[in-house]
Amino acid sequence: MSLRHAVLGLLSAGPASGYDLLKTFELSLENVWPATQSQLYAELGRLAQEGLVRVAAEGPRGRKEYEITEEGRAELRHWLVEVSPAVNRRSDMLLRVFFLDQVGTGAARGYLERLAERAVHEHDQLLGIREFVIGQGDDALRLYGDIALEWGLRLTAAQREWAEWAAGRVAALEQEKAPEQEKALEQK
Amino acid sequence: MSLRHAVLGLLSAGPASGYDLLKTFELSLENVWPATQSQLYAELGRLAQEGLVRVAAEGPRGRKEYEITEEGRAELRHWLVEVSPAVNRRSDMLLRVFFLDQVGTGAARGYLERLAERAVHEHDQLLGIREFVIGQGDDALRLYGDIALEWGLRLTAAQREWAEWAAGRVAALEQEKAPEQEKALEQK
DNA sequence: GTCCACATGTAAAGGGTTACATGATTTT
DNA sequence: AAAATCATGTAACCCTTTACATGTGGAC
C-alpha cells in the first residue's frame, strides 16, 4: 500500500490538487511508482476521510487543493523509518530466462542481446535526465534525487553487463553444439 | 499476465499437478514470480479450458496431473520470443529515497545502511544456493539457471555498493551541517 | 488411530488498469 | 468559435493476497 505514502510524500513538499499530483506522478515518479488518475482521486478521497490530508483551498473548475496534516506527516515518517521496504520479487525479464531452453540458443541469445540494448537505452535516458536536473533544489532534495538517479544508472549499467555476459555464455554453448549439428546433418 | 507463462514454462519440463507446481513456485520461483495456491488452481483451470494444458492422468486424492499441449508450447514460445518483457517500474525501496529529506540525516543514513545490510544478506543466500545447485541439470538448463543466479548476485552486489555510497554522501551532508547546528545551539 | 503430507477448491477484499463520463476555463 | 488544458469522478475488469473449507492416503 505505498501509493498512499507516495501521495503523502509529494504533499509533504507543499499543497497540490489531484491534477497537480497526477502530473508529478507522470513526470518524476513514472519510474518509481506509477499511478493512474482513477487511483489518485480515490486515494485522495480516502486520505481526506482518514484525516491524513485536508482540502486547504478550492479553485476554479472544482479544483481542490490538498494539504498534508500533522497526522499525515506522522504516518509518512512512521512508514519511512519503521516499516521495512518491500522487496521487488517479481521479474518478468528473469522469469523468461528460466525457460529459454525452450527456444534454442539463437533465439535465447537474441533475447539477451535485446535486454542489453534496452539497458543501454535506459541508461542514456537517465544520463539525459541528470544533465537536465543538475543543480536543482536545495542541498537535501538534490542529494536524495541524486541518490535515486545514481541507483538507476548503476542498475542499468549492471543489467547491460550481465546481459552481454549471458549472451556470450549462450554463444559459447552454441559453438560447442555446432559440431554435433554438423554430425547430425551428415547422417541425413 | 505472466503467471500463466510461468505455469506453461514449468509444465514444458514435464507433467505435474497443481500441488507439485505449488512446491516449485515456493522453492525455485520464489524470487522471480511468486504465486499462491488459490491463484495456481484457478489458472490451471483457465489454461485447461483454453486448451493450453490438459489433464493427462488422475491419481489418488483427486490428484490431476496436467500436461502442456502443443498449443500451450506455441503460446510459451510466442511469449518468450515475440512479447517484449515488462520493465519492473515500481520500487518501494527507491520511493522512500525520494522522501528521505522528511526524516533528517541520521534516520536517512540509517535507512540506507539497513539497505546495504539486507543486500549483503541476500547476496550470501544466493551464494549458498549456488553451492547447492552446482552441476545440476543438463547443459542448457544449468546454463540458464546460472545466468539467472548471476543476475541476483550482481544485483545484490550493486545494491550494496550503491547503498554504502549513498550513506556516505548523507554522512558528508551531516558533517557539513554540524557547524550550523552548533551555531543554532549557541543561540539558545 | 492419529498425525502429517497430499490435494483441491471457493470467497472476500485490496490494488491496479482501462474506459467511460462530464464539465469549466483558458488559449488561439 | 474552436481547441486545448484543467479538473474531477465512476464502473468494470484483472491480478494478487488472505482466509476459509474440505477431504484422502500413507506412515508410525
Give me the DSSP letters along A38-69: HHHHHHHHHHHHTTSEEEEEE-GGG-EEEEE-
Q: How far is CA B101 from the centre of its chain?
A: 29
Is the domain of B66 the same as that of B107? no
Residues with CB under 7 A from strand C: A 1-3, 34-39, 60-62; B 17-20, 22, 37-38, 41-42, 44-45, 59-64, 90
Domain of B102, in residue numbers: 92-187
Closest residue, by C-alpha, to the C1' of C8 = B62
| Chain A residues within an 8 Å CB radius of B170 | 143
HSE-CB at A58 with a 13 A cutoff on CA atoms is: 2
Q: Strand A64-68's sheet: what is its strand order?
A: A16-17, A64-68, A53-58
Backbone angles phi, psi at A83, to 5 degrees: -100, 120
Residues B53-69 have pLDDT tens digits of: 999 999 999 999 999 99
Is B110 contained in some domain? Answer: yes
**Could you give the 3-state DSSP secondary structure of residue B16?**
strand
Instruction: Quote the pLDDT of residue B181.
Output: 67
**Could you give the 3-state DSSP secondary structure of residue B59?**
coil
Q: Which residues on neighbouring strands pair with residue A17, listed in sequence order?
A: A65
- Mutate: best of A96, A173, A175, partner B, most B CBs <10 A: A96
Distance B43 CA to C13 C1' (A): 19
Closest to B97 measured CA to CA, from A132, A28, A24, A42: A28
Measuring CA to CA, how many Å separate B51 from each of A81, A113, B55? Answer: 49, 33, 10
Is the domain of B100 the same as that of B168? yes
Is A137 contained in some domain? Answer: yes
CB contact under 8 A, B81 and A98: no
CB contact under 8 A, B144 and A77: no
Instruction: Quote the pLDDT of residue A98.
Output: 97
Residues in chain A: 188
| Chain A residues within an 8 Å CB radius of B2 | 90, 92, 95
Cα A139–B173–A85 angle (5° rounding)?
Answer: 90
Q: Are B39 and B46 in contact (CB under 8 A)?
A: no
Rounded mean pLDDT, A47-51:
97
Q: Is the pLDDT of residue B186 over 80?
A: no
Distance B61 CA to D23 C1' (A): 8
DSSP letters for B72-135: HHHHHHHHHHHSPPPP----HHHHHHHTGGGSHHHHHHHHHHHHHHHHHHHHHHHHHHHHHHTT
HEC secondary structure over B134-165: CCCCCHHHHHHHHHHHHHHHHHHHHHHHHHHH
Backbone angles phi, psi at A16, to 5 degrees: -160, 160
Rounded mean pLDDT, B153-171:
98
Is the domain of B63 the same as that of B103? no
Nearest CA in chain B to A170: B143
Q: Which nucleotides of D are covered by protein (CB under 7 A)?
A: 6-12, 14-20, 23-26
Q: Are B55 and B72 in contact (CB under 8 A)?
A: no
Is A87 contained in some domain? Answer: no
Residues A119-172 have pLDDT tens digits of: 999 999 999 999 988 888 888 889 999 999 999 999 999 999 999 999 999 999
Backbone angles phi, psi at B34, to 5 degrees: -65, 145
Rounded mean pLDDT, A41-47:
97
pLDDT band at A186 (very low <50, low <70, confident <90, very high): confident
More confident residue, A134 or B13: B13
Instruction: Quote the pLDDT of residue A188.
Output: 62
Is A133 contained in some domain? Answer: yes
What gap in Å lies between CA B50 and CA A51, rounded to an integer? 48
Instruction: Quote the pLDDT of residue A133.
Output: 87
Is the domain of A9 the same as that of A76? yes
Which of A24, A55, A82 is a domain's end point?
A: A82
Is the domain of A155 the same as that of A96? yes
> How many domains does chain A contain in total?
2
Strands A53-58, A64-68: pairing is: antiparallel
CATH code of the domain containing A55: 1.10.10.10
| Chain B residues within an 8 Å CB radius of A92 | 2, 33, 85-86, 88
Mean pLDDT of chain B: 94
What gap in Å lies between CA A53 and CA A105, rounded to an integer? 55
Q: What percent of chain B has pLDDT over 90?
A: 86
| Chain B residues within an 8 Å CB radius of A143 | 101, 169-170, 173
Is A76 contained in some domain? Answer: yes
- Facing residue for B92 by CB, picked from A85, A96, A144: A85
Is B87 contained in some domain? Answer: no
CB contact under 8 A, B91 and A29: no
Q: In the 8-state DSSP scheme, what is residue A1?
A: -
Backbone angles phi, psi at B135, to 5 degrees: 75, 10
Instruction: Quote the pLDDT of residue B140.
Output: 85
Mean pLDDT of chain A: 94
- Facing residue for A103 by CB, picked from B5, B80, B88: B80
Q: Is the pLDDT of residue B188 over 70?
A: no
pLDDT band at B120 (very low <50, low <70, confident <90, very high): very high
Is the domain of A99 the same as that of A129? yes
Which of B82, B105, B133 is a domain's end point?
A: B82
Is the domain of A113 the same as that of A147? yes
Q: Is the CB of A17 under 7 A from strand D?
A: yes
pLDDT band at A1 (very low <50, low <70, confident <90, very high): confident
Cα A80–A90–A110 angle (5° rounding)?
Answer: 130
Closest to A157 measured CA to CA, from A114, A113, A126: A126
Is the domain of A100 the same as that of A75? no
Q: Which nucleotides of C are covered by protein (CB under 7 A)?
A: 6-12, 14-19, 23-26
